[in-house]
Structure 1
């Protein structure tokens, strides 16, 4: 069995205000090496909870700062680093917060996972994210899935019928159903575009803030790397 790991970041309880000229934003480095968790190059001996085996996983160092905290999604279970220890998302102080993929995907075996196995995992992760941030959009997506199942079943009935009034009636019913389904897909897409636009605006603002405090960030990182001297 191929196990999967995704490195990501999650928003903290409250988005911190933009750093002022007197505030230095500290950039942290999160790493997974040889089954152990490292923060800023320092081993966290108690970070991995009992029963969680990270042997064989590898990932590139993940840098984060401000209102973000690192997350590992391991075989479909999300773990957040809190107080220098990995805890499940449901047990953390950040349940329901949006997760932003920033790291690499690693496998414990060289063989790639078949697409038919990858797609459900990706889809399930996306649906969890939608459910946590927009209940109405999630409900519309669930409705669309039910309508798709209904249309597939109705199409199968039509294909099995000979030409005649019943086939004609069901064909018209299927056309109406497909029209409603297309309208619903358009609504869902509009909702997804709106969310993407909001995230893009937030990312642009964060980049602008970081550029405004470039020197403060560099000085803070410099002191962190050389031990505050």
Structure 2
């Protein structure tokens, strides 16, 4: 019997700042899919949203502080080092070239999953990795079907696989991952820091101390 090769997880975001919602999602992602590691990849210049408030170097430093002590979570700085817009397709191509046939799973939020057809070369994503969709309680695939882009529906619905434990990470498939609901947002944390209010227990203390020390979110 051939042993199942553990996969590597990819979780990108602005992480401005990284908080417990991000970290809990990464932890459950790795645990549910039996991943050997989960790489958090802070984006440099995201194409789908306005620029982050904190600089790439600061966001990278906060992410590194946040994962200290967790051997499964790693921080990958490849997008921070780019001097062009950061597209997921480029990052996955780079990782596939480096990792060969190692199983690769890419974590994406349900909101982004709904808009997947707006992503650059989105169909190619399935050639490179498994897509894991983080679904909060209340996620309703049937309701989404009624309003989704028909072109996207035709591509993704046949790829959705029942979630088994331990799961098999197979490129081209989609897994819907239930996640613990934590109503946290980086926007709210930035606002609290700007208003000189406490953000303790919303993000790791080391992250908040770093943000305060460097006055990252002060007006």
TM-score interval w.r.t. the shorter chain? under 0.3
Which has the larger strand fraction? 1
Which has the larger helix fraction? 1
**TM-score using structure 1 length:** 0.22
